[in-house]
Structure 1
């Protein structure tokens, strides 16, 4: 077992840099995000079966409402657990959050009524929201020098990898398992990963940054390395504009990304693709996200995050706009892959940019606030898709909304001021 003492003697700001420890942390954080991705995205691949099954009495609009509850829970979990991770330790919060979403994902598979399923998804979402800030903060602290964006990409690639696993599971065994079996598999995989993390994952809790020194001049900015820790740093004069713009960008890209993951299979069915083919689009979306995001992360490590992250959001907007136009299967599959590349890359590098912008003592707080309040976009995405389809406005309108949201993300990122040294 890798003990807390091996990671840092009660919490220093610079963890040991041994290669074995570094890659153990990165692998465990990636595995935790992967099972979170499976449990989150499995709803989208299971949704057609849930609508056809009828046991929960769902229509498209109500299905969108249920889909948004996990993201509402993630908002709560990220905002609450991000600051707690900075104070109590990332390992402790990650394990507690993982246990919560594992238990309630299993509970989803047993729900007898729609209100029970919705409650369990909300509670599972709270756990999911608590996992991400701790994983990104741990990965950031243990990342090899000069490989920050790449490590963030590896860790957050777990979301689309989980989506790929969910789509493959539904394609191969969805019919005999049913939607309940898909949620059960997600819970079982999560239990295995967090059991391993309990025995192997080290902790890291940065020492508090020094309190700000008095300023002799009115209006003078306090240097970032002397800011108070936690939420006061995130909302301080030196960081407030960045925090707001990061949150707007995160809201917009999450609306596009999770909107696609919730509705893409059903949208393809609405466009007269058979279910097996429709599931293939979700698979390609997440495969594109995994493969393409690594190339763009390497570029971001070379030239910086601003243009690459904003450009990724614009790429997603153009690709989703292409999806709205339909066409041959090959063309649509290509556009789907590019949408995955752009949306996931923008989301991944945005989180790495946030982690690089704030001092280590407030890093998980910043990630929790930006990703937490940004989760409003993920909450809205399933609802918007359901409302638009229920109003018979057609799948193209849903794609227009998601494309516009990705474009808003790109504009917000370009408006973020250059970081002061």
Structure 2
């Protein structure tokens, strides 16, 4: 029995695609990613307070291990939920995944032992990993023609926007709220967003033509991908025409996620290690994410004109050079500017890479490709907190941490140069 024969509150036929509906879907997906970004990045801004909380018994190495568990969960969630979204519908997976990370973010605020916190972050991460590929694939399917890169940027800008909100919340109310209160705020925002998505978000199951898709559109897609009819998403992305591209995208995603989430996990603490006061250290995380938001829109407009390939590669190179600059220290004003450039480069390369992935596979395998690239690439995000914690615990200093994150961004740029151009 097909999904269409079993309508439920979690699956709906795709309605006609008016411009208002298209942008409403983009807005809802962006909001979902934003609350995910808050819940993910809040760990980095709460980390100094958690390290100072003697009742938890954290050291820097254990803090790095705990930080990596959310990303391990995201790997599982993305790899499992990407194919499920292609089969069962993106709306269903957004709602189910969002419910998971909301519940376990509440648990993070209530735990009393490090192992309990780690287990809750792991399970919350599974939900976070399921939301991203579903939201990107759904928003791309509803995107107006010629606005693919812009839509991908708007949706994925939710991650740094969530980071900005987390940093602002910590700077304004971190003292009275404490680290537990910061996680509680994230859970409340997530609950509000998922309630809105339940009532407002439409669905799309790519195995059937959407209501607003013309016969000519479907024929063009079939002509571009004649082999796709009976294959699953996984078989498609690992088939001859796509296999090399898939492997290179995973490596590049691994590298850029190591750099981006390494900075978001450790930047506040790294600046504290470099003797900047806590207020200034929080500003660096704020500026990193503000730069990511503002810069990614400018680069998305460029990508819509010249394509995602050169923009993604250039952004990764910019991130690597900027992070090298951070390792040198200097006046607060100069380092804030370099931090903004690091945010522009790291997040833009991640955003454009997702758009590049989504544009490189047939629609019936799009969420699977995104799930695999972001899911297995999440290994970089898993490694980043661990590496930072190990280096700091070994007293090698923040400069070495910055060098590792810079090398990762440059590896992303080099890897993407080897991705073959798509031939439709």
Does the alignment reach a TM-score above 0.5?
yes
Deviations 1:65-118 (A, max 9, x none): 000000000000000000000000000000000000000001000001000000
Match of 2:404 in 1: 401
For 1:352 and 1:17, locate their aligned partners in 2 and report how far apart those are by CA, in whole Å. 21
Residues in 2 aligned to 1:416 and 1:95: alpha-carbon distance in whole angstroms:
34
Query: 1:215 maps to what in 2?
Result: none
Residue 167 (structure 1) aligned with residue 163 (structure 2): no
> Could you state the TM-score of these two structures normalised by the residue count of structure 2?
0.93
User: Structure 2: how far apart are the matches of 1:223 and 1:150?
Assistant: 24
TM-score normalized by the length of structure 1: 0.93
Distance 1:109 1:74, change over 3 A: same
Contact 2:56/2:112 (<8 A) preserved? yes
The alignment status of 1:237 with 2:245, answered yes or no, reads no
What secondary structure is seen at the aligned counterpart in 2 of 1:410? helix
State yes or no: 1:293 paired with 2:293: no
1:226 CA displacement: 2.2
Deviations 1:258-281 (CA, angstroms, capped at 9, x unpaired) = 000000000000000000100000
Deviations 1:138-172 (A, max 9, x none): 11001110000000000000000000000000000
1:207: Cα distance to partner? Answer: 1.8
User: Counterpart in 2 of 1:341?
Assistant: 344
Structure 1 position 376 matched with structure 2 position 379: yes
Summarize deviations over 1:218-274 as a string: whole Å, max 9, x none: xxxx97342223100010011000000000000000000000000000000000000
Q: How does 1:122-271 map to 2 (within 5 A)?
A: 122-207=122-207, 224-227=225-228, 228-271=231-274
SS across alignment from 1:405: helix
Output the CA distance in 2 between the equivalents of 1:17 and 1:342: 33
Report the aligned-residue RMSD: 1.6
* 2:19 aligned residue: 19
Q: Where does residue 220 of structure 2 map in the other structure?
A: none
Q: Hey, what's the Cα distance between the residues in 2 that align with 1:10 and 1:171? A: 44
- Give the structure 1 partner of residue 219 of structure 2: none
Distance 1:336 1:311 in 2: 17
Aligned-partner SS, 2:240: coil
Deviations 1:270-324 (A, max 9, x none): 0000001000000000000000000001000100111110000000000000000
| Cα displacement string for residues 387-418 of structure 1 (whole angstroms, at most 9, x for unaligned residues) | 00011110000000000000000011111001
- Where do 1:267-416 residues align within 5 Å? 267-416=270-419
Q: Deviation string for 1:336-393 (max 9, x for gaps)?
A: 0000000000000000111111111010011001100000000000000000001111
The residue matched to 1:416 in structure 2 has which SS?
coil
Q: Corresponding residue for 2:31?
A: 31
- Residues 255 and 380 in structure 1, CA contact (< 8 A), matched pair in contact too: yes
Classify the secondary structure of the residue corresponding to 2:241: coil
Say whether the 8 Å CA contact 1:208–1:229 is kept in structure 2: no
- Secondary structure of 2:55 counterpart: coil
Give secondary structure in 2 for the equivalent of 1:206.
Answer: coil
After TM superposition, the runs of 4+ consecutive aligned structure 1 residues lying more than 3 A away are 8-11, 222-225
Q: CA deviation at 1:208?
A: 6.1
Give the structure 2 partner of residue 417 of structure 1. Answer: 420
Write the distance in 2 (CA, Å) between the matches of 1:27 and 1:39: 19
Say whether 1:106 aligns with 2:117: no
Distance 2:205 2:419 in 1: 28
CA deviation after TM superposition for structure 1 residue 9, in Å = 7.8
Does structure 1 retain, via aligned residues, the 8 Å contact 2:87–2:207?
no
Query: C-alpha deviations, 1:45-69, integer Å up to 9, x for none?
Result: 0000000012211000000000000
Structure 2 distance, partners of 1:170, 1:329, is 20
> Which runs of no fewer than 5 residues in structure 2 stay unpaired?
1-6, 210-222
C-alpha separation between the residues in 1 aligned to 2:416 and 2:183? 35
Structure 2 equivalent of residue 87 of structure 1:
87
